[in-house]
Amino acid sequence: MRSVAVVGASLAGLSAARALRAQGFDGRITMIGSEPHRPYDRPPLSKEFLAGHLAEADLVLEADGEDLAAEWRLGAAATGLERRSDGFAVPLADGTSVEADGVVIATGAVARELPWRLGGVHTLRTVDDARALRADLAGARRLVVIGAGFIGAEVAATARTLGLDVVIVEVAPAPFARALGPRMGAVLAGLHEDHGVRVVCGVAVRALTGDGRVDGVLLEDGRRLPADVVLAGIGARPAVEWLEGAGVEVGDGVLCDAGGGTSVPGVVAAGDCASWFDPGLGRHHRVEHWTGAAQRPATAVSTLLSGGTAAPDQAAPPYLWSDQYGRRVQFAGHAGPEDEVTVEEGDPDARSFLAVYRRDGRTTAVLGVDQVRQFTRWRRRIEPVGAR
């Protein structure tokens, strides 16, 4: 293999380029990115950057002087993936095309949008989104966050800290229930209520109101929440449309084996766009967290460079962290709806505790809130569901 095209120049793409060089690849690397920016870090966008504590320069992922000897094609989206007799061609939106022997798909995910187009309605995925949201929050009094996922919760916490009135609306009966289960979801909702944020659950949004600019959120039960700014935190879909017709199998993201290999030899995928087979779960699972996008590209790259013969390392259980109101939330593993949850340290009412999820005697997941040291120890006890 003499040339590799990395499509998507963010965390997973940069991590793939680093892994290529670290694993001895000295051929041509072309980094293709639809955003005009060099790779930057997204987690601060809902936290310190939104709060104004970090500048754009603080988000840069590359180290000073780091040189991967790559060619950068930024500001040009890939529009397809074509197979050639001797490799691949990736056509770009600017009419040019990049040829390569191997391809790493790292196009991440795109924020889902509400069907109503009004001023003051935001999603948050890119630094440009964050800048726009920050500017809008600066002149606003009331924020409604639609969707109680992590990004929505972090924006709620940051906006509250900036002094806004904040309401979170969630259609599910409990917030964060899908990720954390209903009991711990309720504890995190309590953290928001402690800080004067209202959490409205079990009701859908019927419409946004306003003439040109949003002025309220109308709920299915007839209630209307006044709003100067609305954030839709309703999840992200994998950015895989550009692969249509390429022969790469796609489900909820690019379907990969346990080493990141796709259905097309010479093409691997990692990060938020990819749904790897999880041997522990016995199914494909798309992980949308920073650590997966930072670590799994190295496995995908060894799959690519070995032509699929390298036995993949067992992927670490999914891990995420979140900062809300100065509390550090950490979660690792897969929580199931039937899991038994016990608090092993601290006290949920004090918003500082460690909870362990178990199924059939196995530790499946660990949640820590302001219990970093205990979390560091407990997360190592997680056993994949299929183990033993």
Partner 1 sequence: MIPACPLAALPRGEAIRLDADPPIAVFHTEDGELYAIDDTCTHQDASLADGWLEGCEVECPLHASRFDLRTGQVDAPPAKAPVRTHRVVVEDGTVYVEPSDLPPNLPPGVRSRSA
Residue 361 CA: distances (Å) to CA of 333, 340, 357, 364, 384? 15, 9, 9, 9, 12
Residue 282, both tokens: 């016995």
Kindly state whether residue 32 participates in binding ligand FAD, applying the rule CB under 6 A: yes
Kindly state whether residue 96 participates in binding partner 1, applying the rule CB under 8 A: no
Kindly state whether residue 78 participates in binding ligand FAD, applying the rule CB under 6 A: yes
**Least distance CB 173 / partner 1 (angstroms):** 31
The region that residue 333 occupies, defined by phi over 0 for left and psi between -120 and 50 for alpha, beta otherwise, is left
Kindly state whether residue 134 participates in binding ligand FAD, applying the rule CB under 6 A: no
In order, the DSSP letters of 21-62 are: HHTT--SEEEEEESSSSPPB-SGGGGTHHHHTSS-GGGGB-S
Among 81, 100, 104, 109, binds ligand FAD (CB under 6 A): 109
Interface region with partner 1, contact rule CB under 8 A, candidates 61-69, 231-239, 337-345, 358-366? 61-69
Kindly state whether residue 12 participates in binding ligand FAD, applying the rule CB under 6 A: yes
Q: State the residue for tokens 């007839």.
A: 222
- Kindly state the helix (H) or strand (E) to which residue 238 belongs, with its residue range: strand 236-238
**Least distance CB 366 / partner 1 (angstroms):** 13
Among 33, 102, 238, 384, binds ligand FAD (CB under 6 A): 33
Among 162, 171, 218, 320, binds ligand FAD (CB under 6 A): 320
Residue 120, both tokens: 């003051």
Question: Contacts with ligand FAD in 212-241 (CB under 6 A)?
Answer: 239
285: exposed, middle or buried (Cβ count in 10 Å: 0-12, 13-18, 19+): middle
Q: Cα separation of 296 and 303, whole Å?
A: 11
Please state the length of the chain: 388
Question: Contacts with ligand FAD in 347-376 (CB under 6 A)?
Answer: none
In order, the DSSP letters of 128-185 are: HHHHHHHHHHHT-SEEEEES-SHHHHHHHHHHHHTT-EEEEEESSSSTTHHHH-HHHH
- From residue 304 to residue 343, the character string flagging contacts with partner 1 as x (rule: CB under 8 A) and all else as - is -----------------x------x-x-------------
CB within 8 Å of 11: residues ≥ 6 apart: 39, 41, 42, 61, 271, 290, 293, 294
- From residue 39 to residue 58, the character string flagging contacts with ligand FAD as x (rule: CB under 6 A) and all else as - is ---xx-xx------------
CB within 8 Å of 140: residues ≥ 6 apart: 120, 164, 228, 229
Question: Contacts with partner 1 in 113-172 (CB under 8 A)?
Answer: none
Kindly state whether residue 61 participates in binding partner 1, applying the rule CB under 8 A: yes
Interface region with ligand FAD, contact rule CB under 6 A, candidates 1-9, 62-70, 169-177, 224-232? 1-9
Q: Applying CB under 6 A, what is the total number of residues that bind ligand FAD?
A: 37
- From residue 242 to residue 281, the character string flagging contacts with partner 1 as x (rule: CB under 8 A) and all else as - is ----------------------------------------
114 HSE (CA, 13 A, CB side): 25
Q: What is the CA radius of gyration of the chain?
A: 22
From ligand FAD, partner 1, none, which one binds at residue 161 (CB under 5 to 8 Å depending on kind)? none
Q: What is the binding site for ligand FAD (CB under 6 A)?
A: 7-13, 32-35, 42-43, 45-46, 77-78, 106-109, 124-125, 151, 239, 242, 271-273, 288-291, 293, 320-322
| Residues near partner 1 (CB under 8 A) | 18, 41, 48, 53-55, 58, 61, 63-64, 290-291, 294-295, 321, 328, 330, 372-373, 375-377, 380
